């Protein structure tokens, strides 16, 4: 197919109008030639002969009349072994392959390695009937089994003609030959492409999530659990610890693959991941965290249009690993920056704006994106999942703004970060009572919890939650009526809720022990704390309540800082018991 | 400025307060032009209609004014000769000295590849405990002062700049009053550090749109010293609120749909492009940005401080503590996001725990004060917390403090011992054992 040509007509910042000489399609990729440089752009609107293209680069020096060539395809991700441990930009350029300290305009690099050899083991044999996304073979990517699959773009059934023998191959070698019923043969390599804005739907079924995704963060796992294939979002004003929380999730979550989309956020935060992940051990496999991680870094100073692409690129890579039966955790920080990228472009196209000048279809775009997450049953009956947690940066900390509201409609878990908690240095600053996990109401999860955590887990969690609610109510009463204006019992109720707050909800993300808590330990500690909360105490006056509970909390906190069931842990546990014995009825 | 063979246009079709439009060919995006002797920049190309943003305003420009295009984006001549000099927004000397001769570089250049950045890890000590103890600064960081216009933010910023151990200081002044401009000039002169300092200043006497060039000028100079010379560069930008106001003027003249608080929809990206120039280079050079964002009535939900807060690595709040009669760095609302990289690592091990405990106790004091104001009886603990808060504010938070970090930590422990018991601190046992010196 010959490529459509065109010429630059108009330039408004990174929106370029191109007069086209032939057919052009929506979302088609084109390259604008500026001297030696080729600038990549995506068509986002067509009016008559004019194609409106958003340029993924700076347009400085661009002039009307410069030649443009259209590529006949949409923005695509390149999928194959070698995606892990990589740092990509929003367009999937390998940032490490770029030359120089500064990003060069028009420099595009290969996301994979052309000549690296992978150790292939066949899984299919000649004569097998296969469909798109069926597994043909396996290569080891770091320690993970990376499946070589029937290309996602193929339609209908194929017969395997041949499969390569076990051995070392590059990504471009033919690993299998397939034939369809019309006799057309297709050679399959390890690498394939997929348009990032189109969901990958090569699975049999997408059930409701039911398995818990452990994160090691107590306020999430215990109070507001997220499930494998679930969706959640974290809105919060700046300075409330969104990013620290996301980093904790990426470190400790029980996932096979972590994909982090740093979308329009600070470069130094990405550098922190680049620097620390290669050193950090995966608590589950004992290997380096970096070996299971892919980072899509399109920081706030990188071109805005590529920022929009970055979340789609990340999701497509996530769906690719899901098709291999992996548990993928996708983190996007922050989806508000993505929405702002949409707003900038909509503004330049002079579209009629919706609320806060965001495009009218913002809500639909967000819900379509969240809908791509989920747990699926693959063609072979195995499961794979993409769990998605996005952060939202609400303008002015106001949760009534369009991005937060649109996200709230689709995400099942809501982790509300509170300025008041952050100010009081109560981290993670998730306000448990304002947050929710709809999964707590799922009968599927109730059954899972009964089997895998404890018989009474859900009711224990709800009990703790109720105590927090009562604690908040009594604290308001105390504030209004004064310490001595309320019954003594109010102080005890309040301090019981403070105990839950300090011991369960608050967690030191930077402490080697307290940073991540296993589900077993969470069950144990919640039981311990509830024991206290259910007990009756002897107090003569309200002035005794505060110091007593402070001592109790202090001993509990020392438990949190000690290795589970270690000597120190047991020692502090004994201290807790001693303090309890003083006043427990 | 026009040379002989440049084509001269003389037919302007449209003029607004900040822009003018004419028909021309062969013009590149972002290119500079001269309109009636005034510098302008291409901001929109629609077919052959070119829209120019005239930096000094369009007052008095006739439709038959001479327009020439310079074929390049705005540039700055860089070199060691920049040191000790004062320039306007266009990089022209305003101190009466000669023009600088050096390599000509386009301003607003490309971003650093994130994988080529190094993680910031060098502490910048200022002697101010409200900063060093609670909100430690790190080289390669970007952090603004959020301050009401009546607070002494320029003085505090200048103090920080002079005490910090850096090789070079670049001042980008936007909408500085002439008095403030002279304040900086005299201060740098008297401190005998003028040769370390380069200043780009747009005073309130100059047209507001000109100041859009100031941050890029300052940062281009900063990149020269940090990249070419491997120097530690500190960039001071004051006041970024006035910069953002200038952005909104231009976008308004170009009929763009405003978003929140009548700011352009691209405000976040525009500010990020500036602040993200803060970087630690692998070869040792670094750019640290300390900025000022003035607030109106302390409102941080306004689009300018709000977007800034999402971009910068923390913020420093100044507040007048009426009880001690001094300006303090507010420990609740201030934050340095990069402090985790140095506290307890480059500073003493007890630093993180001491910092958190002190702020928590200060918060208890704030609660006690509310109780007191509402006429409730105070407990013994409340009274101790209040007494602690007063000492803490005076001995550590006040901006006139100038001591080493170790002294700050010792001071905090002294106050802890004076007012509280060990268990009330909630500090990890081993830390309290080692540094607490409690008698029990």
Query: Tokens 């800034």 correspond to what residue?
Result: B308
* Mean pLDDT of all residues belonging to chain A: 93
**Boundary of a domain, candidates B30, B51, B69:** B69
Query: Tokens 């695509």 correspond to what residue?
Result: A76
A580 SS3 class: helix
**In DSSP terms, which residues pair with A32 in a beta bridge?**
A39, A68
**In DSSP terms, which residues pair with B138 in a beta bridge?**
B123
Range of the domain at B171: 75-337
Q: Residue A35 corresponds to which tokens in the numbers above?
A: 């001297």
- pLDDT in 10s for each residue of chain B, 440 residues: 444 457 899 999 999 888 999 999 999 999 999 999 999 999 999 999 999 999 988 999 999 999 999 999 999 999 999 999 999 999 999 989 999 999 999 999 899 999 999 999 899 999 999 999 999 999 999 999 999 998 899 999 888 888 888 999 999 999 999 999 999 999 988 888 888 999 999 999 888 889 999 999 999 999 999 999 999 999 999 999 999 999 998 888 777 788 888 898 889 989 999 999 999 999 999 999 999 999 988 888 899 999 999 899 999 999 889 989 999 999 988 989 899 899 999 999 999 999 999 998 999 999 899 989 988 888 899 999 999 999 999 999 999 999 999 999 999 999 999 999 988 887 888 899 999 888 76
Span A84-120, pLDDT tens digits: 999 999 999 999 999 999 999 999 999 999 999 999 9
Q: Residue B229 corresponds to which tokens in the numbers above?
A: 């010379």
Contact A102 B340 (CB under 8 A): no
Long-range own/partner contacts, residues B88-94 (CB < 8 A, 24 or more apart)? B88/B200, B88/B201, B88/B202, B88/B206, B88/B210, B89/B55, B89/B200, B89/B202, B89/B206, B89/B210, B89/B211, B89/B212, B89/B213, B89/B214, B89/B217, B90/B39, B90/B55, B90/B210, B90/B213, B90/B217, B91/B200, B91/B217, B94/B201
Which residues does chain B have within 8 Å of residue A39's beta carbon, measured at their own beta carbons? none
Query: Tokens 């899901």 correspond to what residue?
Result: A322
Lowest mean pLDDT: which of A4-18, A262-276, B285-299?
A262-276
Q: CA dihedral in degrees (B185, B187, B192, B195; nearest 10)?
A: -30
CA distance B92 to chain A (A): 23
Question: By the 8 A CB rule, do B137 and B131 touch?
Answer: yes
Average pLDDT over residues A312-317: 97
| Enclosing H/E stretch for B146 | strand B142-147
B161 SS3 class: helix
Which residues does chain A have within 8 Å of residue B314's beta carbon, measured at their own beta carbons? 239
With b for 16 or more beta-carbon neighbours within 10 A and e for fewer, the A287-302 pattern comes to: ebbbbbbbbbbbbbbb
DSSP state of A82: T
Q: 1.10.10.370, 3.40.50.300, 3.90.1330.10, 3.40.50.2000: which CATH number matches A218-437? A: 3.40.50.300
Residue B3: inside a domain: no
Q: Is B378 exposed, middle or buried (0-12, 13-18, 19+ CB in 10 A)?
A: middle
CA distance B305 to chain A (A): 9
Domain shared by B241 and B104, yes or no: yes
Residue B181: inside a domain: yes
Q: CA dihedral in degrees (A519, A524, A530, A535; nearest 10)?
A: 180
Span A526-558, pLDDT tens digits: 999 999 999 999 999 988 999 999 999 999 999
Which residues does chain A have within 8 Å of residue B26's beta carbon, measured at their own beta carbons? 63
Distance CA A152, CA B134 (A): 53
Distance CA A108, CA A105 (A): 9
Residue B328: inside a domain: yes
Residue B2: inside a domain: no
Span A33-54, pLDDT tens digits: 999 999 999 999 999 999 999 9
Span A117-152, pLDDT tens digits: 999 999 999 999 999 999 999 999 988 999 999 999
pLDDT given for residue A575 in this prediction: 95
Domain shared by B58 and B160, yes or no: no
Average pLDDT over residues A257-279: 88
Which residues does chain A have within 8 Å of residue B311's beta carbon, measured at their own beta carbons? 266, 300
Distance CA B312, CA B375 (A): 41
Contact A266 B311 (CB under 8 A): yes
Distance CA A58, CA A106 (A): 9
Domain shared by B218 and B125, yes or no: yes
Residue B1: inside a domain: no
Give the rounded distance of the alpha carbon of A126 from its chain centre: 39
Contact A347 B120 (CB under 8 A): no
pLDDT given for residue A1 in this prediction: 64
**Boundary of a domain, candidates B69, B99, B114:** B69
CA distance B47 to chain A (A): 5
Domain shared by B40 and B149, yes or no: no
With b for 16 or more beta-carbon neighbours within 10 A and e for fewer, the A55-76 pattern comes to: bbbbbbbbbbebebebeeebbb
Domain shared by B267 and B367, yes or no: no
Contact A395 B303 (CB under 8 A): yes
Overall number of domains in chain B: 3
Domain shared by B396 and B324, yes or no: no
pLDDT given for residue A420 in this prediction: 85
> Closest residue of B to A395, CA-based?
B306
Q: Is A48 exposed, middle or buried (0-12, 13-18, 19+ CB in 10 A)?
A: exposed
Q: Which CATH number belongs to the domain containing residue B19 in this structure?
A: 2.40.30.20
CA distance A427 to chain B (A): 11
**Boundary of a domain, candidates B69, B98, B118:** B69
Residue B105: inside a domain: yes
Domain with CATH 1.10.1140.10 in chain A: 457-583
Contact B117 A268 (CB under 8 A): yes
Find the CB nearest A102 among B112, B309, B377.
B112
Nearest to B317 by CA among B299, B329, B304, B325: B329
Q: 2.40.10.170, 3.30.360.10, 3.40.50.720, 3.20.20.70: which CATH number matches A5-74? A: 2.40.10.170
Question: By the 8 A CB rule, do A101 and B227 touch?
Answer: yes
DSSP state of B228: I
Residue B72's CB is within 10 A of a number of other CB atoms, namely 14
> Closest residue of A to B121, CA-based?
A272
Domain shared by B323 and B422, yes or no: no
Which residues does chain B have within 8 Å of residue A551's beta carbon, measured at their own beta carbons? 423
Question: By the 8 A CB rule, do A124 and A162 touch?
Answer: no
Domain shared by B151 and B277, yes or no: yes
Distance CA A522, CA A518 (A): 6
Substitution target from A47, A66, A263, A271 for chain B, most B beta carbons within 10 A: A271
Contact B27 A63 (CB under 8 A): yes
Strand arrangement of the beta sheet that strand A144-149 belongs to: A144-149, A135-141, A118-122, A167-169
Rounded (10°) angle between helices B405-419 and B351-373: 50
Domain with CATH 3.40.50.300 in chain A: 218-437
Question: By the 8 A CB rule, do B171 and B198 touch?
Answer: yes
CA distance A138 to chain B (A): 30
Give the rounded distance of the alpha carbon of B302 from its chain centre: 17
Distance CA A391, CA A289 (A): 22
pLDDT given for residue B4 in this prediction: 46
CA distance A65 to chain B (A): 8
Find the CB nearest B265 among A95, A96, A344.
A344
Nearest to B275 by CA among B292, B252, B253, B258: B292
Contact B257 A357 (CB under 8 A): yes
Distance CA B236, CA B153 (A): 12
Domain shared by B291 and B226, yes or no: yes
Interacting residues of B391 by C-beta distance below 8 A, sequence separation 6+:
B415, B418, B419
Contact B257 A350 (CB under 8 A): yes
Contact B269 A304 (CB under 8 A): yes
Domain shared by B109 and B234, yes or no: yes
Contact A268 B265 (CB under 8 A): no
A449 to each of A376, A442, A445, how far by Cα in Å?
20, 11, 6
CA distance B65 to chain A (A): 23
Q: Residue A388 corresponds to which tokens in the numbers above?
A: 């998605």
DSSP alpha helices (H): ranges in A279-413?
Answer: 304-322, 335-348, 362-370, 402-410
Report whether pLDDT(A265) > 90.
no
Contact B31 A103 (CB under 8 A): no
ipTM score of the complex?
Answer: 0.86
Which residues does chain A have within 8 Å of residue B33's beta carbon, measured at their own beta carbons? none
Contact A300 B269 (CB under 8 A): yes
CA distance A293 to chain B (A): 15
Residue B343: inside a domain: no
Rounded (10°) angle between helices B214-223 and B240-253: 120
Contact A396 B256 (CB under 8 A): no
Which residues does chain A have within 8 Å of residue B118's beta carbon, measured at their own beta carbons? 271, 275
Q: Residue A49 corresponds to which tokens in the numbers above?
A: 């002969």
Find the CB nearest B109 among A95, A102, A238.
A102
Which residues does chain A have within 8 Å of residue B303's beta carbon, measured at their own beta carbons? 395-396
Residue B345: inside a domain: no
Q: Which CATH number belongs to the domain containing residue B245 in this structure?
A: 3.40.50.12240
Report whether pLDDT(A350) > 60.
yes
Find the CB nearest A546 among B115, B314, B381.
B381
Compute the C-alpha angle A470/A476/A482, nearest 5°.
Answer: 120
Interacting residues of A228 by C-beta distance below 8 A, sequence separation 6+:
A209, A211, A212, A213, A327, A375, A385, A387
Taking domain A457-583, whether its CATH number is 1.10.1140.10 is answered by yes
Its CATH architecture, for the domain A118-195, is Beta Barrel (2.40)
Contact A340 B114 (CB under 8 A): no
Region of residue B12 (left: phi > 0; alpha: psi -120 to 50; beta: else): beta
Find the CB nearest A484 among B272, B377, B423.
B377
């Amino acid at each position: 197919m010959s490529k459509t040509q065109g010429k630059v007509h108009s330039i408004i910042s990174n929106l370029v109008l191109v007069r086209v000489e032939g057919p052009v399609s929506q979302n088609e990729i084109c390259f604008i030639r500026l001297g030696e440089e080729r600038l990549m752009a995506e068509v986002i609107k067509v009016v008559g002969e004019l194609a409106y293209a958003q340029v993924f680069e700076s347009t400085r020096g661009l002039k009307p009349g410069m030649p443009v060539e259209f590529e006949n395809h949409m923005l695509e991700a390149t999928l194959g072994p070698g995606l892990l441990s990589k740092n990509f930009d929003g367009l999937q350029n390998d940032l490490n392959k770029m030359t120089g300290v500064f990003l060069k305009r028009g420099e595009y690099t290969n996301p994979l390695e052309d000549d690296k050899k992978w150790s292939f083991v066949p899984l299919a044999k000649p004569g097998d009937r296969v469909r798109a996304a069926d597994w043909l073979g396996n290569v080891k990517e770091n320690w993970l089994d990376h499946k070589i699959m029937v290309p996602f773009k193929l339609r209908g059934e194929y017969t395997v003609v041949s499969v390569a023998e076990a051995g070392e191959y590059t990504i471009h070698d033919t690993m299998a030959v397939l034939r369809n019923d019309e006799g057309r043969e297709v050679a399959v390599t390890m690498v394939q492409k997929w348009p990032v804005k189109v969901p990958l739907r090569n699975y049999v079924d997408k059930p409701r999530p039911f398995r818990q995704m452990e994160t090691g963060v107590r306020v999430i796992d215990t109070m507001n659990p997220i499930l494998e294939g679930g969706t959640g979002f974290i809105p919060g004003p700046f300075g409330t610890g969104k990013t620290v929380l996301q980093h904790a999730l990426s470190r400790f979550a029980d996932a096979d693959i972590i994909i982090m989309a740093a979308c329009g956020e600070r470069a130094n935060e990405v550098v922190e991941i680049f620097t620390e992940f290669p050193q950090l051990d995966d608590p589950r496999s004992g290997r380096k965290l970096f070996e299971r991680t892919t980072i899509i870094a399109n920081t706030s100073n990188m071109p805005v249009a590529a920022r929009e692409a970055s979340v789609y690129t990340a999701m497509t890579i996530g769906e690719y690993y899901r098709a291999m039966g992996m548990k993928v955790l996708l983190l996007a920080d922050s989806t508000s920056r993505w929405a702002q990228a949409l707003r900038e472009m909509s503004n330049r196209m002079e579209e009629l704006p919706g609320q806060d000048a965001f495009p009218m279809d913002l809500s639909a775009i967000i819900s379509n994106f969240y809908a791509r997450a989920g747990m699926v049953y693959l063609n072979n009956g195995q499961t794979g999942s993409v769990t998605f947690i996005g952060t939202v940066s609400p303008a002015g900390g106001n949760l009534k703004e369009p991005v937060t509201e649109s996200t709230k409609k689709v995400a099942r878990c809501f982790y509300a970060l509170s300025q008041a908690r952050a100010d009081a240095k109560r981290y993670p600053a998730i306000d448990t009572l304002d947050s929710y996990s709809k999964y707590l109401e799922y009968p599927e999860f109730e059954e899972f919890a009964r089997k895998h955590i404890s018989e009474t887990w859900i009711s224990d969690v709800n009990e703790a939650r109720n105590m927090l609610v009562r604690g908040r109510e009594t604290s308001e009463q105390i504030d209004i009526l004064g310490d001595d204006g309320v019954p003594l019992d109010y102080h005890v109720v309040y301090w019981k809720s403070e105990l839950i707050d300090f011991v369960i909800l608050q967690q030191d993300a930077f402490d080697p022990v307290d940073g991540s808590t296993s589900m077993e330990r969470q069950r144990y500690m919640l039981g311990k704390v509830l024991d206290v909360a259910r007990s009756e105490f002897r107090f003569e006056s309200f002035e005794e309540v505060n110091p007593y509970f402070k001592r109790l909390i202090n001993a509990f906190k020392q438990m949190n800082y000690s290795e589970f069931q270690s000597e120190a842990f047991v020692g502090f546990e004994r201290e807790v018991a001693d303090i309890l014995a003083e006043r427990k009825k | 400025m026009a040379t002989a063979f440049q084509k001269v246009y003389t037919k302007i079709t449209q003029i607004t307060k900040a822009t003018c439009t004419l028909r021309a060919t062969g013009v590149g995006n972002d290119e500079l032009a001269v309109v009636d002797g005034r510098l302008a920049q291409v901001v929109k190309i629609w077919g052959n209609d070119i829209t120019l943003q005239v930096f000094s305003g369009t007052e008095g420009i006739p439709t038959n004014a001479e327009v020439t295009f310079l074929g390049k984006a705005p540039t700055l001549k860089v070199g060691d000769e920049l040191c000790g000099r004062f320039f306007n927004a266009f990089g022209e000397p305003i101190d009466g000295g000669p023009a600088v001769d050096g390599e000509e570089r386009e301003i607003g250049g490309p971003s650093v590849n994130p994988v080529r950045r190094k993680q910031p890890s060098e502490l910048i000590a200022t002697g101010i405990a409200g900063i060093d103890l609670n909100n430690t600064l790190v080289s390669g960081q970007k952090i603004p002062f959020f301050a009401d216009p009546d607070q002494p933010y320029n003085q505090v910023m200048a103090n920080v700049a002079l005490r910090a151990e850096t090789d070079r200081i670049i001042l980008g002044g936007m909408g500085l009053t002439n008095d403030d401009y002279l304040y900086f000039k005299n201060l740098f002169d008297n401190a005998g550090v003028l040769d370390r300092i380069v200043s780009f200043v747009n005073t309130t006497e100059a047209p507001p749109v000109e100041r859009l060039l100031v941050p890029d000028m300052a940062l281009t100079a900063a990149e020269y010293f940090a990249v070419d010379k491997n120097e530690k560069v500190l960039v001071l930008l004051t006041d970024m609120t006035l910069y953002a106001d200038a952005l909104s003027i231009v976008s308004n003249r170009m009929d763009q749909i405003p978003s929140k608080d009548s700011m352009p929809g691209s405000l976040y990206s525009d500010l990020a492009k500036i602040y993200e120039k803060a970087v630690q280079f692998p070869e040792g050079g670094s750019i640290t940005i300390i900025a000022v964002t003035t607030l109106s009535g302390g409102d941080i939900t306004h689009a300018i401080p709000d977007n800034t807060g999402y971009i910068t690595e923390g913020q420093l709040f100044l507040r007048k503590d009426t009880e001690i009669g001094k300006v303090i760095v507010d420990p609740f609302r201030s934050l340095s996001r990069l402090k985790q990289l140095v506290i307890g690592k480059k500073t003493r091990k007890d630093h993180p725990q001491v910092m958190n405990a002190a702020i928590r106790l200060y918060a208890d004091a704030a609660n006690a004060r509310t109780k007191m104001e509402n006429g409730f009886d105070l407990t013994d603990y409340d009274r101790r917390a209040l007494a602690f808060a007063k000492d803490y504010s005076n001995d550590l938070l006040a901006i006139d403090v100038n001591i080493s970090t170790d002294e700050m930590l010792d001071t905090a422990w002294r106050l802890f011992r004076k007012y509280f018991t060990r268990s009330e601190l909630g500090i990890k046992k081993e830390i309290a054992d080692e540094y607490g010196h409690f008698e029990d």
